[in-house]
Structure 1
């Protein structure tokens, strides 16, 4: 028989924390929660391989499409696609640090990706829409080549962030069909 009045406060606190941790695991398991980066990633990779990634305009779009194909584990277009992903990109550059003579020394590069994931095989043909934004900054230097190189580096970082964000959201939508509009 357990006598609560004989348990020290520190031990009670430890037991209570253990109880909360275990019960939190039970509750999240019961609601269908599955971590994106957990053990079931291999099964998820098969789901992403059947997403057809449509062409994206311009060179930056081509680079994003290549990154998405890599993130989705694709070596080419899927033979029997279940979903189609359409992405449109907009890019903006603005000056951040303006000096007294009205010249800028730092710029901000923003890339916005609006994407739509459409079901191809289901009769209800739902669609999931989302938007991902990445903002990176770079220094404007006296050398035009150095500035161009820094801008390209910021663009590459933006595409990395966007591809990670789009992959995560597409995976969430595929796992949870209630995200799709009917």
Structure 2
């Protein structure tokens, strides 16, 4: 049985591309089956088309509520037999409509060492606070703002001459490594969730 992945994204889709390339090249034992995007003009839609990956693109303003479009997304996921949902720059909080059926199979990548600096502009938050170490977190989604159980983290040194742009560029390079690595571990059955404790089995 093929392990099937859906990726949610709202912007350029560089993390989408990192996962799609890893699956295409066999570094992840899985197939990216679907892109879900809430911005029809987003660059990530073109990236998905270039990989031949199906898309569900919608405009939230066309729906009466967040729950209404999430019901439609859920049907898409279930019809395609999606095993894992990867939030990769999807800029909307999600409701129990998606969280409950996919809890433990729904992950997000965030450009900070959570629980520090949740929400938007994490690199800017890190610089404003004056930390010496920033980083990247992959976590399970629980419906809160970057509050779910942590699966993997990697640090990024903050340099004295960093701007938001230079720091975020280095964070993104780590994201493009950490997210496919984490998806691979999940696809291989090496990640287990028990309450807030996540166990990752690296060796055989």
TM-score, reference length from structure 2 = 0.38
The answer to which structure has the higher helix fraction is: 1
* Bigger Rg, which one: 1
Higher relative contact order (CA 8 A, sep 6+): 2
